[in-house]
Structure 1
Amino acid sequence: MAPLHLNPTSFLLLASILLFLFFIIKPKLKSKLPSINLPPGPKPLPLIGNLHQLGDQPHLALHRLSCTYGPIFRLTLGFIPTVVVSSAKLAREVMCTHDLALASRPQLQSARSLFYGCTDMVFAPYGPYWRHVRKICILDLLSQRRVDLFAPVRAAEVKCMISRIATAAAEGKAMNLSKILGLYANGVLGRSAFGKDFYGGGDYDRHGFQEMLEEYQVLLGGFSIGDFFPGMEWVGAITGTNARLEKTFQRFDKFFDEIIEEHMQKRRKGRILEEGKDLVDVLLDVKESDGLEMPLTMDNVKAVVLDMFAAGTDTAFITLDWGMTELLMNPEALKQAQKEVRGIVDILFGDFF
């Protein structure tokens, strides 16, 4: 997928608009801002603030700034004041001591567009709805019993993954482990969430699901003008960002409509056994149950399903990928891991291999 960027014409237009707004808004902001004891930080430039200091590797830039300004410092990202913490002690203050005050995520333009107005669990603001969805996820979707019911799916996908690796090794071919691990994660999530196999061919290729996920990741992690310059979301219509967001949303929405309709048809034919239910079945059960303090809409169901799939694929295979990288860089640890795996694999997967 093409990364998000501004072409020269769009950039000049944006710069002109920002410069105009700067000279209009700055005097008003100065007169309204209260005196606040802010953390130290680098002096922001007009219009862009400290955006120029982040570069293409923000995590490294933030580390360098923390070495200069300490474990808590401030930045201005466009028009958005931002506080950065980079020590275990302060992280504990943010994540534990003051977690309720800081629980909500920024509702980015991309998140609002892709997650049905931020009605998923990740981007929904902290409040009654978020607590309700979190309760559903913990008690219904991610309970120990539900995880145990999907054990055969995980075991079968591990078997497929090992078979791919063994075939490539027997043929003396180089293998892209990242791709193989990604296919494993997609396979587990596809069968657990939708009851479908999303490997190459069939539904996977028919929907272009991998392409959709890649575009989703680019858009969600990309630069949207309105996130840093509130009120200027319309600039995305010039840069093409808004059109890409709408196109990707429509593709996901159509896909979810088809999946949900297939599940509804099965439900109309008769009761589905508990062990045969996937995450969509469980969410439809919750939606149709009586006595909910806050009934779910079909868009809420879609938003939560997208959470489960989109968040689960990347985190799973990236963790596995880095774990394998660390083992390859530490031969002694690799030998110990191989010994432990070989000692228990027959016990855990004897019925599958």
Structure 2
Amino acid sequence: MASLQWLLQLSSSPFLLFASTLLLLKLLFNQNSTKTKPNLPPCPPKLPIIGNLHQLGTMPHLSLRRLSNKFGPVIYLQLGQIPTVVVSSAKLAKQVMKTHDLALSNRPPIFSAKLLFYDCTDIAFAPYGAYWRHVRKLCILELLSAKRVQSFSFVREEEVARLVRRVSESSYPATVNLSKLLGFYANDNLCRVALGRGFSHGRDYDRHGFQKMLEEYQELLGGFSIGDFFPSMEFIHCLTGLKSKLQSTFQRFDRFFDEVIAEHLDPDRHKEEHSKDLLDVLLDIQKSESNEINLTMDNVKAIMLDMFAAGTDTTFITLDWAMTELIMNPKVLEKAQAEIRKVVGDRRVVLETDLPHHESCHQRDLAITSSGTGLTP
């Protein structure tokens, strides 16, 4: 009876009815929030809309290091609309990259990759599944096997000799821009291995302006894209001009690959006597009917583009830092020079197998200064 009287009083007072409704909704919301709230790692204070984007700064790897020192080895960041977990411990990174790799194997399809890599049908950005497993197996067994890498040793030897000549020709009287020459070496080496020809500036097949095209492609791939952090605002790239730049670069690369593929399919084409290049290998696989998944020409182009994304800057940066570390550590430089003189003697040609200390220098370089500032699963 008392409950009925309370309900009648409540219904006769609009203010009490409104306040009771708000209280009931708040209780229901808190109850649902308690049930569904995920158990997230520690998160630094964030701002509305942009979340933690402002805390990355111009040197994200250093900013993430400072945040991990304060909040722990695993932190949660809200990068715009994208929830992100950052792992800054080697032990936990092993859990992410190796122990639980299947659960974390997919990469988000970033805006530039969708346009440049034929809708993410390459190796780096393809979603985990039958196609990705197939092209990864092809890459390990056919493109990057020890036998295949060894078959291109003559290319590395010739390009190193070309690099030495360039340094010698540039050394007097002007200062040598070694970083630029190392970049030419990395690109020439990769172009000959992947496509069978040298395409860098000044070579006989540079009518496409390949060097400039590659620089634009790398800049676009590594640049900031607001749609990667705010997917609902991806349309803004049509206004900023980013989409048209990506489409223009993609079309130039597509025409370039069409021409190179047509040249490789020409039965009268002169092949180097040493070995097939990587495009030859992929085209043989593409024509084979025994594959579990048939590759299209777009798939072949996407995989070849991956080779340039992964094989140019990484090689150049590693070599650049190796030279820097040797200059900054004179004793290590003297040891490397002494071994070269001891092993080579009167010979003018240095073989890769001649220099065990060179390998230790390379490992030291990778330990101190890696070619990338972070890893993505």
| Superposition deviation, residue 89 in structure 1 | 1.2
| Superposition deviation, residue 274 in structure 1 | 7.5
Counterpart in the other structure of 2:144: 142
Counterpart in the other structure of 2:195: 194
Counterpart in the other structure of 2:300: 301
Counterpart in the other structure of 2:250: 249
Partners of 1:79 and 1:229 within 8 A in 2: yes
Letter aligned with residue 113 of structure 2: A
TM-score by structure 2 length? Answer: 0.80
Counterpart in the other structure of 1:10: none
| Superposition deviation, residue 348 in structure 1 | 8.8
Counterpart in the other structure of 2:181: 180
1:73-115 C-alpha deviation (Å, 9 max, x unpaired): 1110001111111011111111111111112222101011100
In 2, the alpha carbon distance for the partners of 1:345 and 1:157 equals 19
| Superposition deviation, residue 168 in structure 1 | 2.5
Partners of 1:79 and 1:230 within 8 A in 2: yes
In 2, the alpha carbon distance for the partners of 1:33 and 1:331 equals 62
| Relative contact order, higher structure (CA 8 A, sep 6+) | 1
Counterpart in the other structure of 1:125: 127
1:225-283 C-alpha deviation (Å, 9 max, x unpaired): 22111232111001111111101101110100010011111xx3389688331111110
| Superposition deviation, residue 216 in structure 1 | 1.3
| Superposition deviation, residue 218 in structure 1 | 1.5
Letter aligned with residue 148 of structure 2: R
Counterpart in the other structure of 2:238: 237
Counterpart in the other structure of 2:18: none
In 1, the alpha carbon distance for the partners of 2:159 and 2:329 equals 27
Question: Residues 204 and 223 (structure 1 numbering): CA distance in 2 closer, same or farther, change over 3 Å?
Answer: farther
Indicate the RMSD between aligned Cα atoms, in angstroms.
Answer: 2.2
In 2, the alpha carbon distance for the partners of 1:42 and 1:258 equals 51
In 2, the alpha carbon distance for the partners of 1:282 and 1:234 equals 39
Question: Residues 172 and 341 (structure 1 numbering): CA distance in 2 closer, same or farther, change over 3 Å?
Answer: farther
Counterpart in the other structure of 2:284: 285
Q: Which moved more, 1:288-297 or 1:227-236?
A: 227-236
In 2, the alpha carbon distance for the partners of 1:59 and 1:149 equals 37
In 2, the alpha carbon distance for the partners of 1:308 and 1:117 equals 17
In 2, the alpha carbon distance for the partners of 1:71 and 1:204 equals 49
In 1, the alpha carbon distance for the partners of 2:143 and 2:167 equals 31
Question: Residues 32 and 206 (structure 1 numbering): CA distance in 2 closer, same or farther, change over 3 Å?
Answer: farther
Partners of 2:286 and 2:296 within 8 A in 1: yes
Counterpart in the other structure of 1:46: 48
After TM superposition, the structure 1 = structure 2 runs for residues 1-353 of structure 1, keeping only pairs within 5 Å, are 34-169=36-171, 171-202=172-203, 205-265=206-266, 268-269=267-268, 275-345=274-344, 349=349
Q: Which moved more, 1:255-264 or 1:40-49?
A: 40-49
TM-score by structure 1 length? Answer: 0.85
> What SS is found at the alignment partner of 2:43?
coil
| Superposition deviation, residue 224 in structure 1 | 1.4
In 2, the alpha carbon distance for the partners of 1:258 and 1:174 equals 38
Letter aligned with residue 211 of structure 1: K
Letter aligned with residue 231 of structure 1: S
Partners of 2:200 and 2:211 within 8 A in 1: no
Partners of 1:204 and 1:210 within 8 A in 2: no
1:106-148 C-alpha deviation (Å, 9 max, x unpaired): 2101011100111111111111111100111111111122112
> Structure 1, unaligned stretches of length 5 or more?
1-26
In 2, the alpha carbon distance for the partners of 1:270 and 1:163 equals 30
Question: Residues 93 and 248 (structure 1 numbering): CA distance in 2 closer, same or farther, change over 3 Å?
Answer: same
Q: Which moved more, 1:318-327 or 1:39-48?
A: 39-48
Counterpart in the other structure of 2:23: none
Question: Residues 187 and 68 (structure 1 numbering): CA distance in 2 closer, same or farther, change over 3 Å?
Answer: same
Q: Which moved more, 1:79-88 or 1:195-204?
A: 195-204
> What SS is found at the alignment partner of 1:76?
strand
Partners of 1:327 and 1:333 within 8 A in 2: yes
| Superposition deviation, residue 204 in structure 1 | 5.3
In 2, the alpha carbon distance for the partners of 1:83 and 1:57 equals 18
